[in-house]
A and B are shown apart, each in its own frame.
Chain A
């Protein structure tokens, strides 16, 4: 039963593990090469992920939510975009290292376009990478590609922001989070009762309360149940079935 749960939670590594076992049986030399090139990336991961871990902690403790909202939020404007570019460009590590940081910024009030900018520039624009490109492909090649990429990222960010609202992005994530509860937007009157009781769990966006992502700790469950009771319009729905 427990083993089954662990497998269910880690579908991808289990599948990959099975593939490797098959490879080792069928084509052992290919499996060996695969293993060896994976190790290079594993080392890269261990060089970068602990830093990301430390940074998310420092970000959480040192940077107040208001600051993030002001500089990366919906009203941060062009300056917010520039700041996102800088943050993404001075980063280290592959794109998956950007996920935890971006998610934290998102939960603290960063806007959708700025998240797109951070993720994309994290992937493409990096100082050591640009130096490498200039060395092998020429400075003008690198420069033009850089300018075009920055413009493309700006455009992408703007369009994504138009298509996908912060509210939708957050609710899309929070409905899959555990424990499974959400705020019915049709009933919520934005009174702020829940945000006062649990500011870490709820936030008000456009005069409606929303469940913030990544903070749905099970240990908060008692308090969450209290907010469900206290909500004047009974807009907070606690699903019994955890999907």
Chain B
């Protein structure tokens, strides 16, 4: 556990302690409510996690190199953005991987597109987002994020 997550544990435990001091009944009531909300999500989250395992096995992070290395930058950017949307590579694996690739001279535009959709667009988490916030919200947020990733990549290609 990194120090960041650890401090979160500390803060939230203190806050719940404060809730208890403020009102025991309210805290228990809120606990019931949260339990219900989290309970309905837990099954899906566990399902998603095991899908990530399958995706990582059949599409290993290294395979992204062949996508980013394409001669046609526009095509490569588009494919990289899609690859970032469907895969869920941990960021600390993705950064060194992309870094090593840019070091050997690859274009940064597809790389940026990939890094941005990797975290912002979630095809795998889409069913859960849809369930929690409705179809329209989920589709808007994901589609906009996808477009945003392409734009960010294009602008970065011009600047750097």
Contact = CB atoms under 8 A, between A and B. Distances in A.
| Same complex | yes
Interface of A: 9-10, 12-13, 15-17, 19-20, 23, 30, 33-42, 45, 47-58, 60-62, 92-93, 95-96, 99-100, 102-104, 106, 112, 115-116, 119-120, 123-124, 127-129, 132-133, 135-137, 140-141, 144-145, 148-149, 152-153, 155-156, 159-160, 163-164, 168-169, 172-173, 214-215, 217
A164 B57 contact: no
Which secondary structure characterizes the binding site on chain A? helix
Interface residues of B, number: 77
19 contacts: A12-B48, A13-B47, A19-B54, A23-B54, A30-B57, A35-B53, A45-B49, A49-B42, A51-B8, A96-B41, A96-B128, A119-B141, A133-B95, A137-B95, A144-B160, A148-B152, A155-B148, A169-B133, A214-B37
A144 B4 contact: no
A51 to B, nearest CB: 5
Interface in B62-110: 90-92, 95-96, 98-99, 102, 108
Contacts of B50: 13, 16-17, 20, 34-35, 38
B108 to A, nearest CB: 8
A23 to B, nearest CB: 7
Interface of B: 1-2, 4-5, 8-9, 12-13, 15-16, 18-19, 22-23, 26-27, 30-31, 33-38, 41-54, 56-58, 90-92, 95-96, 98-99, 102, 108, 112, 115-116, 119-120, 122, 125, 127-129, 132-137, 140-141, 144-145, 148, 151-152, 155-156, 159-160
A60 B33 contact: yes
A116 B138 CA distance: 10
Q: Return the 10 tightest CB-CB contacts between A and B, nearest first.
A: A38-B53, A136-B99, A172-B134, A58-B15, A12-B47, A152-B148, A60-B30, A61-B19, A54-B12, A34-B53
Given A49-B45, A104-B37, A144-B156, 16 more contacts: A16-B51, A37-B52, A38-B53, A39-B53, A51-B9, A53-B35, A54-B15, A60-B33, A95-B122, A103-B132, A120-B120, A123-B122, A129-B92, A137-B95, A156-B145, A169-B136
A10 B128 CA distance: 12
A30 B54 CA distance: 8
Contact of B15 (A62, A149, A160): A62
Contacts of B125: 95-96
A23 B160 CA distance: 44
Contacts of B54: 19-20, 23, 34
